Amino acid sequence: MFSRRLIIRAAQFSTSQSKKTEKLWENPWKHALHQQEQPRTSAKVLEVPIDWSYVERLMPIEIIPDVPKHETYPTPSGWTPPTEAAKTHSYYVRRRRDHMLPLYLERKRDLLNEKTLDFDYVELVVLRNVDGNIFDCENELRQFVEAQLDHPIATHVDELKGRIKIKGAPRKIIEQFLYSKGF
Partner 1 sequence: MFLSQLMRQSGASASAARNLWRKSENPFISTPQAWLTDLEQVEEKKRGIIDLHPDVFRVAPRLDILHRNLTWQKVYRNVQMTKMLTKAEMPGGGRKPWPQKKTGRAHVGSIRQPEFIHGGFANGVRGPRTWFYMLPDAIRLQGLCVALTLKHAQDDLHIVENMQDLQNGDPKFWQDLCESRNWGYSVLMIDDSDVISGGLAEAQEQLAWLNCMPVYGLNCYSIIKYDTVVLSKNALEKIEQRLLQHLHRAKPLNLKYRYQDYKEKILNESRAEENPNMPPIV
Please name every residue paired with 158 in a beta bridge, in sequence order, or none if there are none.
163
Nearer to partner 1, 162 or 166 (CB): 162
The binding site for partner 1 (CB under 8 A) comprises 60-66, 82, 86-87, 91-92, 94, 97, 131-132, 160-162
Cα 130 from Cα 95, distance rounded (Å): 10
CB of 132 to partner 1, least distance (A): 4
Please name the residues in contact with 122: beta carbons below 8 A apart, sequence gap of 6 or more: 107, 108, 110, 167
* CB-side neighbour CA atoms (13 Å) of 141: 35
Query: CB of 96 within 8 A of CB of 102?
Result: yes
Angle at 170 between CA 166 and CA 174, to 5 degrees: 70
CB of 168 to partner 1, least distance (A): 27
Nearer to partner 1, 82 or 169 (CB): 82
Nearer to partner 1, 51 or 56 (CB): 56
CB of 92 to partner 1, least distance (A): 5
CB of 162 to partner 1, least distance (A): 6
Nearer to partner 1, 110 or 136 (CB): 136
